[in-house]
Amino acid sequence: MSQWFSFGPWAFSIDAAEAAIAARHRPIQPIPVDAWASFYGLKHLGDPRRSAAALIGPTSDALDREYAMTADLANPVIVAQLLVENQPAPLLIDGTHRLYRAWREKVSELPAYVLTVEETLGIRHPVSLGPCGITVTAASRTR
């Protein structure tokens, strides 16, 4: 079964990201858990007083917290890079469960593979809302 990460009008192929990582050696880079957990709204999951939702990251009922506590923290997460105002901006596309567990266990850093902007463009596909939900249009990648 293919794995995808959805963000706005795009879907990112995790399988293609893993293939890009396997094809080109890159160093594993540490990412700061506390900052990423804040950005993804993981610190507020389950808070009944929270009135705002995070723009990125799972909703309180979309992250399986029990499963997250079994995630392998040694397995590097995958960070894509999007161009925002001509600057690379990181986006975690694989590893939210690992990030949640690391934050809960007060781990300071997680290992990460960081894709280049070009690699990210190669795994990014437009999505459309069709009559049956979200459809990934793999043949017409956007750049």
Domain of 132, in residue numbers: 4-46+58-136
What pLDDT is stored for residue 142 in this prediction? 39
Residue 38 inside a domain? The answer is yes
In whole angstroms, how large is the CA radius of gyration of the chain?
15
What pLDDT is stored for residue 131 in this prediction? 52
Residue 141 inside a domain? The answer is no
Stronger pLDDT, 60 or 113, i.e. the higher one: 113
What pLDDT is stored for residue 64 in this prediction? 85
Tell me the C-alpha distance between 14 and 18, whole Å: 6
What pLDDT is stored for residue 118 in this prediction? 97
Token pair recorded at residue 56: 């990125």
Residue 52 inside a domain? The answer is no
Stronger pLDDT, 74 or 54, i.e. the higher one: 74
Residue type, 132: C
Residue 92 inside a domain? The answer is yes
What pLDDT is stored for residue 101 in this prediction? 95
**123 Cβ partners below 8 Å, 6+ apart?**
12, 13, 16, 17, 20, 80, 115
What is the tens place of the pLDDT at every residue in 80-134? 999 999 999 999 999 999 999 999 999 999 999 999 999 999 999 998 755 555 5
Residue 30 inside a domain? The answer is yes
Residue 72 inside a domain? The answer is yes
Q: Which of 113, 90, 136 is nearest to 17 (CA)?
A: 113
**Number of domains observed in the structure of the chain:** 1
What is the tens place of the pLDDT at every residue in 9-58? 899 999 999 999 999 999 999 999 999 998 888 877 765 555 545 556 55
Q: What is the CATH number of the domain that holds 21?
A: 3.90.1530
Q: Does pLDDT of 2 surpass 80?
A: yes
Residue 77 inside a domain? The answer is yes
**pTM for this model (two decimals):** 0.82
Per-residue pLDDT band at 143 (split at 50, 70, 90)? very low
